[in-house]
Amino acid sequence: MTQAWDKELRARGYRVTPQRQLVLAAVTKLEHATPEEIWADVQQTASGVNISTIYRTLELLEQLGLVTHTHLGHGAPRYHLAAEAEHVHLVCAECGRITQIPPEAVAPMVSALADNYGFQTDVGHLTVFGRCESCRAGAPADGVPADGAAAEGAFAAGDPADGAAPTT
């Protein structure tokens, strides 16, 4: 995947800098990460990279169509690879777990909105808030207390058996 980034950046006249490579690697690794989370990941390899470099790099990478952002509630936007943008986010309001599901899972709702209201849904930006299966059952979701005392931005893996793509 890195070679595709390199080619895309060079094709548009941009240099492939270590900072850009580190930001892209962090976005890939973290999935749905805030700029601050991306910065913390980059800091593990390159402590000299400051947060303004992260913001500028994310802005450029989004303009180039390599990353995209989404808003999963209040707070900072979360970034992920643009190539993986076609999914719906399920966000647990109790533990913060984010589960990705394919757009087909909400096709009946999208059809109903179109048929009943003439509304065209942008599924790539669709986020549904609620309570995950673990919280509904009163069980901790990957180590998160059932009382919802999750850390800000905590994520747990999705269950591949239910068609969800795991996120971390």
Instruction: Write out the chain's pLDDT in tens, 168 residues.
Output: 456 778 888 888 899 999 999 999 999 999 889 999 999 999 999 999 999 999 999 999 999 989 988 888 778 888 988 877 678 889 898 988 888 888 899 999 999 999 999 999 888 778 889 999 999 998 655 544 344 334 333 333 333 333 444 343
Residues 109 and 153 placed together within one structural domain of the fold? yes
Question: Are 78 and 113 found together in one domain?
Answer: no
Count of the separate structural domains present in the chain: 2
Spatial distance between the Cα atoms of 147 and 124, rounded to a whole number of angstroms: 31
Residues 63 and 108 in one domain: no
Q: Cα(49)–Cα(60) distance, rounded to whole angstroms? A: 16
Spatial contact of 19 and 61, defined as CB atoms under 8 Å apart: no
Task: Name the residue range of residue 21's domain.
Answer: 2-82
Task: Identify whether residues 50 and 74 lie together within a single domain.
Answer: yes
pTM metric for this prediction:
0.66
